[in-house]
Structure 1
Amino acid sequence: MEKVQEQSGYENTPEWRGYCKLMEERPKSFRGGGYPKIVTDVRVVDRFVRENHVKIGLIYQSPYNTFLVDLVEEKDGFLHTYDRLLATVGEGAVVTVPIFEHQFVLIRQFRHSVQDYVWAFPRGFGEKDISPEENVAKELSEEIGARQVSKVQKIGTIAPDTGILGVYVDAYVCEVSNVELRKNYEGIEEVMLVSEEQLQRMIQEQKLVDGYTLAGFAMYQQKK
């Protein structure tokens, strides 16, 4: 990663200040090593912004997501912007593979981004000051009312969408003591118990298309 330069009209904007702060706090998200490479010379950024009428840097941040627009340089020197979405809490995101009495637990949930109901395993963003294993128990308590979670085992790590998401998600298989419908909690409408064969059939029939769930199930099968 190039050293951040000083002195330009863009250096005092909230987008660039927030971006520089994020580079200091989360260097792994800016480590580089290939092309396109991130341009951190603020003089180059300033010139590009003025010529192209765009914003570069930290554009938006919620408790869950951080939206960045990087200025990047290709090997031939061509400059362009690249959108990225990071998890605001950099680590600890999980997808669970919960099992109750030898069956998988799926929830049917309205997902705003696709404006549709989707069958999926429970999952959640990382949260400050709790471990991924604790996050597994928290998400399962909230989404399926599990009072006890046991035999928690990490089965792999997922990079859900390397085109835009700068996020790694850990997958965990576990057993739950009970299952409850938490109707209307975060859009949840149904809870269903399915055998491995039924889950495979749902995939074949395109009734289960959630990427986190497909990856988690594939990892579960490899770990059996």
Structure 2
Amino acid sequence: MAGTSAAPTSDDDPYERLRRERPALFANPPGAGYEILPVADASPERGPYGVQYRDPFVTLVRDPVRFPDGQVGGYVRLLARAESGGAAILPIIGARVVLIRHFRHATRDWHWEIPRGFSDPGETPEETAHRELVEELGVAPQGLRRLGMIHVDSGLSAMATTLYATTLPALAPHETRDEAITERGQFTADELDALLAGGELTDSFTMGAVLHARRLGLLP
């Protein structure tokens, strides 16, 4: 979707609608290094501003901002379409963590990671966690323990993902071809450390969940 110019925008403009519906995303707290401006006050020659792209999962915006040096221009951000963002779940069987090996389009490579996904509109993080675990592992969680939140790239993305842990009795055969998942594995704490040291574990959701789980005594 094309961005808006610096001219005043109508009530139907998707960027202005987003600002009205989700004002917390456009707040300017005291001392903020980047001040979001009204589109009408931005420099036209440094546009376009506004919503640049949308799909069912994400919205890409280019905010009109005043930078720390006083100049005015655009700053790109990635927003989740659903207010709850998404969820990532650390599945534990006994003393082992379950990881899936997932091919990711963005990196064009495979990654060991925990189940995760975007929330659907109106879906709570807990509902997202339940759905993603069933989709990716074929099992429902036996209770979810909230671990914390994670921002995977605060320089680009406003999306916050809620981290959970759950205990599973066992894994069952499950078809995951549609999810680009090629393998499932169960790893001890020492094996997780080995994956990390060897550069085979780079997924920030997984590392954040494991860190929280160790803090809470859920893992050695």
**Is the TM-score greater than 0.5?**
yes
| Residues 82, 122 of structure 2: 8 Å contact kept | no
Structure 1 distance, partners of 2:127, 2:94, is: 22
1:20 aligns with 2:12: no
**Equivalent residue, structure 2, for 1:140:** 133
Cα deviation, residue 189, structure 1: 0.6
Could you tell me which amino acid in structure 2 is paired with residue 175 of structure 1? Answer: T
**Equivalent residue, structure 1, for 2:3:** none
Could you tell me which amino acid in structure 2 is paired with residue 20 of structure 1? Answer: E
Structure 2 distance, partners of 1:133, 1:81, is: 35
Which deviations, in whole Å up to 9, do the C-alpha atoms of 1:81-116 show, x marking residues without a partner?
110001110215111100123321100011111111
Unaligned runs of 5+ in 2: 1-5
Note closer, same or farther for the CA distance 1:118–1:43 as it changes in structure 2 (3 Å cut): same
Which deviations, in whole Å up to 9, do the C-alpha atoms of 1:48-77 show, x marking residues without a partner?
23x24x321011111101100011102442
**Equivalent residue, structure 1, for 2:76:** 83
1:164 aligns with 2:156: yes
Structure 2 distance, partners of 1:9, 1:32, is: 22
| Residues 92, 135 of structure 1: 8 Å contact kept | no
The number of equivalent residue pairs is 209
SS of residue matched to 2:52: strand
**Equivalent residue, structure 2, for 1:218:** 211
Note closer, same or farther for the CA distance 1:195–1:35 as it changes in structure 2 (3 Å cut): same
Q: What is the root-mean-square deviation in Å for CA atoms of aligned residues?
A: 1.8
Could you tell me which amino acid in structure 1 is paired with residue 41 of structure 2? Answer: V
Structure 2 distance, partners of 1:197, 1:62, is: 40
Give TM-score, length-normalised by structure 2. 0.88
Could you tell me which amino acid in structure 2 is paired with residue 11 of structure 1? Answer: T
Give TM-score, length-normalised by structure 1. 0.87
**Equivalent residue, structure 2, for 1:72:** 65
1:43 aligns with 2:35: no
Cα deviation, residue 181, structure 1: 4.1
Unaligned runs of 5+ in 1: 1-7
| Residues 103, 194 of structure 1: 8 Å contact kept | yes
Structure 2 distance, partners of 1:44, 1:215, is: 40
Pairing partner for 2:115 from 103, 118, 122: 122
| Residues 53, 60 of structure 2: 8 Å contact kept | yes
Cα deviation, residue 186, structure 1: 1.8
Note closer, same or farther for the CA distance 1:66–1:131 as it changes in structure 2 (3 Å cut): same
**Equivalent residue, structure 1, for 2:9:** 11
Which deviations, in whole Å up to 9, do the C-alpha atoms of 1:188-212 show, x marking residues without a partner?
1111111111111111111111111
